[in-house]
Amino acid sequence: MTTPFICRQCITRLTQPHSVRIRPKHFELYTQAISTAAPQSIWTSLAEQRRELSNGYDVLDNYGTGLPTYDPALLPQTYQGEPIAENQPAWDGNLKKFVPRPRPELNKLRNQPVEGSHDLQKKILQSLGDYSIVYKDLMHVYGLSPGEARHAISQLERLIGGRLGMEAGTRLEHFHMWKIHFRELLGIVSSSHHASGTDDDLSKHPLWTSSGRQDSEAMKEVWQRQNQARRESLWPHIIISAFRSHLSTIPSLIRATFQPSWCPSYIVEDIVYLLSRTLDDNQISKSDHRQVTELISFLLKNSTPRYMVLEQLVIRKVISSLPTPKLVEFHEDLKNVEHPLNENTLLHLASRFTRGSKYKVHAAEIIHFLSSLPGFNINSPAAISTCTSLLSVEEGNLPGDHAAPDELFKMLLDAGFQPNILTLSTLMRNFCIRGRVEVALNIFDLLAKRGIEPDPHIFSILINGAKHALDFESLYRIAAMITARKVWSLYLVNDVLDFIYQYNESRRQHRRRQRKRDTARAWRLMVQVYLKFFKPSPLQKLTLFPLENLLATRPEQIPPKLKGVDQFISMLKPLPDALLMQPDSITLALMFRVHFWTIQRTGPLRMYYNYFMKLLNKGDPIMTQIVKDQGTIVLDTFLRNFMQFGSTFENGIRIIQSMHERANREMEKLGKNVLYPRPSVNTYTILITGLRNHKHTRGVIVTLNMMIKEGIVPNIVTWNAVIGTLLQKGYLEEAVRVMRNLKQVGLESNARTVQEITNVSKVKRKWVATLMKKLDEKPSDISDQRLFAKSLLRRWEKPDDQSIGRRSARRGHRISHERHELTQPSTALSDTA
C-alpha cells in the first residue's frame, strides 16, 4: 500500500488546539476514501482521556485547555478505505546531491515571542523537527542552564522526532509537566534542604512504608503487583515525591521500579543528572558517592540500546570517580547500549586507561576508533598528550607483548599520528626500560632524519638505557654523539658517573674486603671523570687528601672487569678550565657515598664524621646544600658505615639519638627542620639491617616499633630485613605474620623476600608453608602497622614453641643479653653538636 499524501493545510489544522470534541467529518483529509463503514475515530479530547485513565500528572494550561492527545489503543485493526493512487517517479539509479530547501517560515518562527507554556508547546510543534529554535525559550520557561537546554533539545529530538498530530501533543504535554517539576527538583538538590511532611510525601503511597527504609527487593515485589497502566501512571509521581522527602532513597527506588518500557527516558536522564550534581559536594559520603555511580551502571546494564543519552558531563564525572578495573566494565556497558560519546569524553576515557600498563590496549582501541571518525585530529594537543601517555611505561611495570611500545607506535602511525620530540623521547625511554637500547638508538636516527635536533634529555634517556642494560658498546656510541655535538651537561655527566658505579656494583664480590677494594678502584675512575667536567674545589672540600693523587692509575691497579670503563674514560675529552661546570648536590652526594663505602678502618670514619658535623654546624654552603636537597643521605651514609664494625656499632645507635636531639632543638628554634632532618625510612632501614647483622633480634623489633610510632611507614626493604631477621632466629610464626601483613598494607613481595625464605633450611621452609596455610584458614586484620609492631614485640617477649623444634633454655639468656646490650649507655662521638 502506498503512503497517503497529507497536505500542508491538514498538517496546520492538526497542530491547532480545539476546545470541543474533534469530529472526523469536520477534518476529513483529502486522502480519505469513501467507505461503506466509517472507521472508529482515533482522535479524542484530552478531557475524555483523563476520565478513562489518569496518568498521575496534574495537567495545567495557561489557557485552560490542553493540547489534543493521541490514543494508539483506538486505532482500527484495518483501514477499510482505498487510498488514492499516486504516481511515483521511477528512480534512474543516479544519486543527486542533496540541497536543503530554504525554510523562511522557521526563521520567522525563531523570533516569535513565547509568553507561556502553551506558546512554547505550539512553537515546538511548528518547528518541524528543528528544535534549536526554542533553545532560549527552554531556558526562559523552564529555568534551564545553557547545557541543560541543549540536552532538553536532544530529548525533544528523540521524543517527538518531527512527529505531528495528537501523539506529538501528548508526548510534549508530559515532557512539559516533567520539566516544570525538574526546575523545582533542581532547586532541592542545589540547596540540599529536603522538606518533609509535604502533600506529596511518599508515606501516602501504598508502595512505600512509613519509615522510608524498605529494601529494594521488597519494593520491587510490591511494585510488580501493580498493573502496567498503574505503574506508568504512578512512576513519575513517586520519583518527584522521593526527591521532595527522601532523596537518599532514590537509588534503591530506581532499582526496584525501573523498566525501560514504562519509564520515559528523559525522566531517567534528568534523574541521573540531578543525582550527579550531588557528586560535586565535598561533604557527600563515600557511600552516597558509590550509590550514584552504581545506579548509573545499573541503568546502563538494564537499558535497551539507544534508550537514553546521558549528558557527557555526567559520564566524565563517573569516569573520574571509578577505579580503572571498574572503568573497563563501565566502558563495556556504554558500548552495549550504543551510548554516544563525544571526542573529549573518549579522550578522557583513553587517558585514564593509559595510566595502567594492562589497560593500555583499551586506550589504543579508543584512539583507533577515534581516528576512524571524520573530523578527528589525532595531532591536536589533547590527542598528542593522550598518545604520549599511551607510549609511556613505568620501570618494573611493563605491559605485555600485546601492548608493546613498538606495536602501539605502529598503530598510531597508521592512524596518521605525527610524533614530536616529546613523543619520540617517551618511546625511546620505553625501549630503554625494556632493555632494547639498540631500538632506541634507531629512533634517535629517525629524529635526525626528520631534522629534529635532540636535547640533553634525550641523551640522558639513552645513557640510562645503556646503564639499565649495562651496555658499554651503546655507551661509547652515545658519548661520541654527545662529544660531537658539544652538549655535555651536568645531568649527562651525573648519568655517566652513576653508570660506572652501577656497573661496578653489578659485578661485586661476595666478600666484603674484596668488594671494598673493587669499589675503591671504581671510585678512582669516577674521580677521573669528575675532574674532566667539574670544578675540583667542591669535591676536594669533602675529602681529606688531594684528588690529584687519584689521577695516576697504573694498569695493574684496574681489575679486569673495569678495563672497559678505563678505556671509555680515556676516550672522553676534558673540558677547558674556563668551561668546567659546578657540581650539584646529586653529584657530590654520589661521590660522597661511593668514597665512604671504600673506607675499611674505623679511625677515618670517626675523623670524617667529626669533620662533616663541624662543616654543617658552621653553615658551610656545600654541606648545607647537600643536606637541604638530599635530606638524611649524609648521616645515612655515616650510619651505614658505623654499623659495619663491632667497635663502632654503638656509635651508629648514637647517631640516631643525636639526629632526634638536633631535630627537636631546631624545630623548637625555627619551627621547621632545615639542617637537621629527622630520621627517615632509609635511616631506620639501615639501622634495622645493622642490628640484624649483629644478631640483635629484639633491637630489630624495637626499632620497627619506634619508627612506626613516629609515623614513618616501613617500605618493602624494611619488611624484608625484618622477615630475614625473624627467619634466621627461628621465629617462624612471626615471620609468616609479617609476610601476611605485606598484603594488607598494600605492598608486594619481591625477589628479595623470596630470597630471605630460601636462605633458611629446608625444614624451616616446610614449616613456613604449613604456618601460612594455617593463617589462611583463620585470617586476621593486621593492617594497622602500629598495633602489628606492638604485637610482634609482645609475642617476641612471650616464650612459646612456634619455632622449629624446641627453643632451648639459652633463648632466655640470649634475650636478656640483647636487652642488656641495647639498654647500656652508648659512647658518644666527639662531635660539636
Confidence of residue 582 (pLDDT cuts 50, 70, 90): very high
Confidence of residue 40 (pLDDT cuts 50, 70, 90): very low
Tell me the C-alpha distance between 53 and 44, whole Å. 13
Residue-wise pLDDT for 297-329, tens only, equals 999 999 999 999 999 999 999 998 888 889 999
What are the grid coordinates assigned to 357, written together?
Answer: 600498563
Tell me the C-alpha distance between 722 and 718, whole Å. 6
Confidence of residue 805 (pLDDT cuts 50, 70, 90): very low
Q: Is the pLDDT of residue 438 over 90?
A: no
Name, of 93-97, 107-111, 279-283, 757-761, the range with top average pLDDT: 757-761
Q: Report the share of the chain in percent with pLDDT over 70.
A: 75
Q: Is the pLDDT of residue 465 over 80?
A: yes
Provide φ and ψ at 44, rounded to 5°: -135, 160
Q: Classify burial at 178, counting beta carbons within 10 Å of its beta carbon; exposed 0-12, middle 13-18, buried 19 or more.
A: buried
What type of residue is 729? K
Confidence of residue 41 (pLDDT cuts 50, 70, 90): very low
Residue 74: predicted pLDDT: 36
Over residues 338-346, the mean pLDDT reads 92
Q: Is the pLDDT of residue 73 over 60?
A: no
Residue-wise pLDDT for 733-777, tens only, equals 888 888 888 877 778 888 888 888 888 888 888 888 888 888 777
Q: Who has greater pLDDT, 786 or 429?
A: 429
Q: Is the pLDDT of residue 807 over 50?
A: no
Q: What angle do CA 695, 696, 700 make, to 5 degrees?
A: 120
Q: How many Cα neighbours within 13 Å face the side chain of 136?
A: 8
Residue 82: predicted pLDDT: 42
Q: Residue ranges per domain, the chain?
A: 8-85+106-188
Q: Where are the alpha helices (DSSP H) in 98-247?
A: 104-110, 117-126, 135-142, 146-159, 166-191, 216-224, 228-245
> Torsion over CA of 613, 619, 623 and 627, rounded to 10 degrees?
90
Residue 310: predicted pLDDT: 92
Residue 561: predicted pLDDT: 66
Tell me the C-alpha distance between 392 and 434, whole Å. 12
Neighbours of 622 (CB within 10 A): 16
Confidence of residue 69 (pLDDT cuts 50, 70, 90): very low
Q: What angle do CA 224, 227, 232 make, to 5 degrees?
A: 95
Provide φ and ψ at 397, rounded to 5°: -135, 60
What 3 state SS string does 544-612 have?
A: CCCHHHHCCCCHHHCCHHHHHHHHHHHHCCCCCHHHCECCCHHHHHHHHHHHHHCCCCHHHHHHHHHHH
User: Are 32 and 81 contacting, i.e. CB atoms less than 8 angstroms apart?
Assistant: yes
Over residues 339-345, the mean pLDDT reads 92
Contact residues for 549 (Cβ-Cβ < 8 A; gap 6+): none
Q: How far is CA 51 from CA 55, 71, 233, 561, in A?
A: 10, 13, 13, 99
Residue 554: predicted pLDDT: 60
By residue count, the chain amounts to 833
Q: What angle do CA 111, 112, 116 make, to 5 degrees?
A: 130
Q: Who has greater pLDDT, 405 or 82?
A: 405
Q: Is the pLDDT of residue 290 over 80?
A: yes
Per-residue DSSP letter, 429: H
Among the listed ranges 158-167, 233-242, 278-287, which one has the minimum average pLDDT value?
Answer: 278-287
Q: Is the pLDDT of residue 339 over 70?
A: yes
Residue 44, H or E segment:
strand 43-44
Residue 83: predicted pLDDT: 44
What type of residue is 660? H
Residue 99: predicted pLDDT: 56
Dihedral sign of CA atoms 202, 205, 211, 214 in order: negative
Backbone dihedral region for residue 677 (phi beyond 0: left; psi -120 to 50: alpha; all else: beta): beta
Q: Classify burial at 224, counting beta carbons within 10 Å of its beta carbon; exposed 0-12, middle 13-18, buried 19 or more.
A: exposed
Name, of 3-7, 36-40, 315-319, the range with top average pLDDT: 315-319
Residue-wise pLDDT for 632-679, tens only, equals 998 999 999 898 888 888 888 889 999 999 999 999 998 888 889 999
Among the listed ranges 45-49, 127-131, 184-188, which one has the minimum average pLDDT value?
Answer: 45-49
Tell me the C-alpha distance between 608 and 71, whole Å. 97
User: Are 244 and 188 contacting, i.e. CB atoms less than 8 angstroms apart?
Assistant: yes
Q: Is the pLDDT of residue 794 over 50?
A: yes
Residue 279: predicted pLDDT: 76
Contact residues for 557 (Cβ-Cβ < 8 A; gap 6+): 521, 524
Confidence of residue 553 (pLDDT cuts 50, 70, 90): low
Residue 348: predicted pLDDT: 92
Tell me the C-alpha distance between 285 and 273, whole Å. 18
Backbone dihedral region for residue 583 (phi beyond 0: left; psi -120 to 50: alpha; all else: beta): beta
Q: Is the pLDDT of residue 212 over 60?
A: no
Residue-wise pLDDT for 587-600, tens only, equals 999 998 899 888 88
Q: Is the pLDDT of residue 429 over 60?
A: yes
Confidence of residue 533 (pLDDT cuts 50, 70, 90): very high
Neighbours of 430 (CB within 10 A): 27
